[in-house]
Structure 1
Amino acid sequence: MAWNEPGKDDKNDQDPWNKNNKNNEQGPPDLDVIFKKISGFLGGLFGKKSTQGPSNNNSSSNGGKVVAIAILVIIALVWFASGWYTIKESDRGVVLRLGAYHSQVEPGLHWNPKFVDEIIPVNVEAFRTLPTSGFMLTEDENIVQVSMEIQYRIVSPEKYLFSVTDADNSLLQALDSSLRFIIGHSTMNDALTTGREVVRQETWEMLNKIIASYGLGVQILDVNLQQTRPPEQVKDAFDDAIAAQEDEERFVREAEAYEREKEPIARGQVKRIEQQARSYEEGMILKAQGDVAQFNQLLPEYQAHPEVTRQRLYLEAMEKVLSTSSKVLIDNEAGGNLTFLPLDKLMSNTSTSSTNTVVETEIETRSRADEQAGLDERAASSQRVLNSSRSTGRD
């Protein structure tokens, strides 16, 4: 008998999978039954009539509505619960509604409609670094290897995310372009030694100008020029040149320190010499004025009593001279000259300093004697003029 021919047990033979056999629990599910239940549920949900009787239709329709409402409520609760999210203190949330930028949220607990809004957190407090390096050509056609690093942070999350395709890559390209432009307008000596700070500042300024037109939403916090060095083939020669420049700067600083140390001393000496010269000038002027005043006072006395005045002046001069002299002077009236006995040379205990004093005193005595002789001559001539004037008056 074929497998599809009816047998003794029609109920069991009609089902090739033996689905109606209660003892067989391992068979596959009846797909027809499942499809009928689903179609009946959907028909009751949307008001379609069923092939069953009226009582079964009402009961299945009411039950389907209750189940549908329960499922919808559960789905709504899950959807509502899944919409809560938290933004960290250091972040800002960028809200995308149906794929387009909508708003920005602050840190804290927030809710968004799930599957409608998308939240992208962006850290706006973290300091980010971006390095660049490479071989670059200077203005004097030399090659240098330059490494630079910048620090930045995000200040406008929506611009950072949507102004350009990749903000970090755009910033890196702008940094590399700015650095190459500044190095290309600098000499190799400036880039390696004294102009490093200038290169850093000018690169910073140019980078800010470039990213301002892009609207990247970032702020440059610092630019650090890490190293500038020549190619390895000439590195030793440039190291020697840099060492020489450093020695030159050190010598210049030492010279400036020496200048600052010696200049006040020299200025003080100049002031002291000026004051001494001014004091000497004033002293000589006062002394000359005193001599003139003394001569003006002595002239009437000399004119009235010439012999007495001459003798007094002679004695005063000799008193001054002999008070510091170790010689004995003898007046030779016959010859009219003064002689002296060198007693200091006869003394064995006289030192060399005393000899020098004697010589100086002798010279001073002779000079004063000559001066006194000149005064006597002038006095005599004055007396002769006076006598002649008196005789003329008598006549």
Structure 2
Amino acid sequence: MAWNEPGKNGQSDPWNRKRPGKSPLDDLLAKLKNRGGKFGQGSGGLLTGVLVLIVVGLLFSSYTIIGAREQGVVLRFGQYSRTLPPGFHLKLPQPIESVTKVEATRIRSVTDKVAMLTRDENIITIDFTVQYQVDDSRKYLFSLTDPDGTISAAAEAAVRGVIGGSDMDQVLSAAGANLVAQAQQALQQTLDGYDSGLRVTEVSFQNVAPPDEVKDAFDDVNNAREDKQSIENSALAYASKVVPVARGEAARIAAEAAGYKAERIARAQGDTDRFNLLLAQYKAAPEVTRKRLWLETMEEVMAHNTKIVDDASGRNIINLPSTPGSAPAAGTTQVGAIVPAPGSASDKGAQP
């Protein structure tokens, strides 16, 4: 046989060396082709292929990966088994166990616009939005057939119940925030009664308006209410500014009155004490006390007069020096004063 004559596989030369230009991948493909041919021959080969496919399928269905925002509900033969948190988990292969993934942290929302009747029989239109999320994945999957439709109907019923128990003014005024909280609480109680596994995160009223036929009248009422609140706020601000000033002024006047009262009482007590002392001295020495009082009185009187008439020596007029052109001081006597000499008839007549 020639050296280049092909062997049974046409891949070797007489020295049992591989021909150039052939890679190991070609050999692997040839082996797989030969084995595939064997699998296709007879019932034993077909059964082996089926078993390999089954084993591969079981291996790929024996684990699951739950996302960070998901929960996995595991069913064993169609019955609830457990709930898987986020992460990698092993499980029994299908069809023994199956996993249904639920986005538990996603915020879902339902929006609706309805016309409602208030307690005082007024029609009002409300746009409301309900935001909710899955709190229990098992209840979410098996308690409700249509979660979105159920929560939409329950939300409308809760809002109608709250609005129907309130007057129009309460709905349109600032008290509407309390109504929203009441609606959210009523909706959550309804969903808990359904065992829905849903948790309401927020209920909001986007647009609360009366019918178009009476909208202008309600706008006037709201404007008047706002004007009233503005005037009240201005009055409170003015009172907060004026009242402290008035209180301070009243305190100042009261303090001045108390000081004047204390001063007058102290001066009266001082005058009383002085008079009592003077009376004691007068009783002890009447003549001396009378003479001293006369001198002190003359000293006080003459200090305000510019002319003095001396009655003891021929009624002489004594001109006291004063500043030319100056006006007399307060209490000054313009016609002069007649000064009786001590011990004269006038003086004796003036003695007590």
TM-score between both structures, scaled by the size of structure 1:
0.64
Shift of 1:122: 0.8
Partner SS, residue 207 of structure 2: strand
Shift in CA distance, 98/269, structure 1 to aligned 2, threshold 3 Å: same
Shift of 1:133: 2.5
- Higher gyration radius (CA): 1
Paired position in structure 2 for 1:97: 76
Paired position in structure 1 for 2:87: 108
Shift of 1:239: 1.5
Shift in CA distance, 309/193, structure 1 to aligned 2, threshold 3 Å: same
- Name the aligned partner's letter for residue 272 of structure 1: R
1:47-126 equivalence runs, <5 A: 63-110=42-89, 111-126=91-106
Shift of 1:266: 2.2
Paired position in structure 2 for 1:300: 280
- Name the aligned partner's letter for residue 108 of structure 1: G
Shift in CA distance, 307/204, structure 1 to aligned 2, threshold 3 Å: farther
Paired position in structure 2 for 1:368: none
Partner SS, residue 150 of structure 1: strand
Deviations 1:7-66 (A, max 9, x none): xxxxxxxxxxxxxxxxxxxxxxxxxxxxxxxxxxxxxxxxxxxxxxxxxxxxxxx94234
Q: 1:173 aligns with which of 133, 153, 160?
A: 153
Deviations 1:180-218 (A, max 9, x none): 111111111111013111211221222222222112112
Structure 1 residue 212 corresponds to structure 2 residue 192: yes
Paired position in structure 2 for 1:159: 139
CA distance in 2, matches of 1:361, 1:113: 130
CA distance in 1, matches of 2:297, 2:209: 88
Deviations 1:110-160 (A, max 9, x none): 444223433221111122222233111111111111222222221111111
CA distance in 2, matches of 1:377, 1:318: 16
CA distance in 2, matches of 1:144, 1:320: 95
Partner SS, residue 115 of structure 1: coil
Partner SS, residue 140 of structure 1: coil
Shift of 1:99: 3.0
CA contact 1:306–1:379 (8 Å) conserved in 2: no
Shift in CA distance, 159/378, structure 1 to aligned 2, threshold 3 Å: farther
CA distance in 1, matches of 2:62, 2:127: 47
Structure 1 residue 234 corresponds to structure 2 residue 219: no
Shift of 1:291: 0.9
Deviations 1:328-374 (A, max 9, x none): 4656969xxxxxxxxx9x96x86xxx9xx85x778xxxxxxxxxxxx
Shift in CA distance, 297/120, structure 1 to aligned 2, threshold 3 Å: same
Shift of 1:168: 2.2
Shift of 1:261: 2.1
CA distance in 1, matches of 2:299, 2:125: 94
Shift of 1:288: 1.3
CA distance in 2, matches of 1:131, 1:331: 114
TM-score between both structures, scaled by the size of structure 2:
0.71
Partner SS, residue 264 of structure 2: helix
Larger helix proportion of the pair: 1
CA distance in 2, matches of 1:188, 1:296: 85
Shift in CA distance, 107/291, structure 1 to aligned 2, threshold 3 Å: same
Shift in CA distance, 102/261, structure 1 to aligned 2, threshold 3 Å: same
Paired position in structure 2 for 1:244: 224
CA distance in 1, matches of 2:240, 2:111: 44
Paired position in structure 2 for 1:267: 247
Shift in CA distance, 129/361, structure 1 to aligned 2, threshold 3 Å: farther
Shift of 1:267: 2.2
Partner SS, residue 165 of structure 1: coil
1:1-395 equivalence runs, <5 A: 63-110=42-89, 111-306=91-286, 308-310=288-290, 312-313=292-293, 316=296, 328=306, 358=330, 380=352
CA distance in 2, matches of 1:378, 1:276: 43
CA distance in 2, matches of 1:329, 1:150: 107
Shift in CA distance, 305/81, structure 1 to aligned 2, threshold 3 Å: same
CA contact 1:124–1:157 (8 Å) conserved in 2: yes
CA contact 1:80–1:114 (8 Å) conserved in 2: no
Partner SS, residue 224 of structure 2: helix
Partner SS, residue 256 of structure 1: helix
CA distance in 2, matches of 1:189, 1:292: 75
- Name the aligned partner's letter for residue 111 of structure 2: P
Shift in CA distance, 317/210, structure 1 to aligned 2, threshold 3 Å: farther
